[in-house]
Chains A and B, each alone.
Chain A
Amino acid sequence: DGGITQSPKYLFRKEGQNVTLSCEQNLNHDAMYWYRQDPGQGLRLIYYSQIVNDFQKGDIAEGYSVSREKKESFPLTVTSAQKNPTAFYLCASRRTPSTDTQYFGPGTRLTVL
């Protein structure tokens, strides 16, 4: 089965802790993305990566960090510097170079206690 997996599905964090969200794809896509979705709002881009060992900030990168050491993996760390981290986090990938669509994972819901 080809696709994108995210884990865990639900994540609870205490204030002041860093947490890492996993995103893995076996679609052989070069580009990967992290979005944040808040209730009643559209998706906002956190970080994206077009190629291994390279990534760029999106519109709301403050308080987040990423790495891209392997083509298949693009983990997102939510640091204690993120003021309001409770949200639904979505990972996506896309075949490049092309104007193809993005393929999304099932999401991780992060709640800060």
Chain B
Amino acid sequence: DAKTTQPPSMDCAEGRAANLPCNHSTISGNEYVYWYRQIHSQGPQYIIHGLKNNETNEMASLIITEDRKSSTLILPHATLRDTAVYYCIVSPFKLIFGTGTRLQVFP
């Protein structure tokens, strides 16, 4: 599976958009980009996934560059409850989690 690189931590003001980057320069054609998050000690929670096209759901938007070597997860209006570790995973199927980005949303 392709390796991903994420910043270890980010801050975001409540109400602002949180943009979380992920590099996956060795991604293969059949590999999807997945985003999960883990709030405190709960089980990871699915956010969104995509292959080539940008995707949006009720939680977030996923922007994938045309060459698919990087992506950005966008939380349009971050709240305190969005404070969590966010994982970007690239895989055709089974999910191997890296160290993720710890997002801290502050008031």
State whether these chains interact: no
